[in-house]
A and B are shown apart, each in its own frame.
Chain A
Amino acid sequence: GNSVTQMEGPVTLSEEAFLTINCTYTATGYPSLFWYVQYPGEGLQLLLKATKADDKGSNKGFEATYRKETTSFHLEKGSVQVSDSAVYFCALTPSGGYNKLIFGAGTRLAVHP
Chain B
Amino acid sequence: GAGVSQSPRYKVAKRGQDVALRCDPISGHVSLFWYQQALGQGPEFLTYFQNEAQLDKSGLPSDRFFAERPEGSVSTLKIQRTQQEDSAVYLCASFPLKRERTGELFFGEGSRLTVL
Contacts and interface: CB of A to CB of B under 8 A. Distances in A.
B4 A99 contact: no
B43 A99 contact: no
B110 A99 contact: no
Interface string B22-38: 00000000010100000
Given A32-B103, A89-B43, A91-B103, 6 more contacts: A32-B101, A42-B109, A43-B110, A98-B101, A102-B45, A104-B42
The residue in B93, B100, B104, B108 that gathers the most chain A C-beta atoms within 10 A of its C-beta is B104
Determine the main DSSP class of A at the interface with B.
loop
Nearest to A41: B109
Contacts of A46: 103-105
Interface residues of B, number: 29
Interface residues of A, number: 24
Contact of A98 (B3, B31, B43): B31
Interface of A: 4, 32, 34, 41-46, 49, 51, 89, 91, 93, 97-106
A43 B4 contact: yes
Interface in B43-64: 43-45, 48, 50, 55-56
B31 A43 contact: no
Contacts of B50: 98
A101 B59 CA distance: 12
A100 B56 contact: yes
A99 B3 contact: no
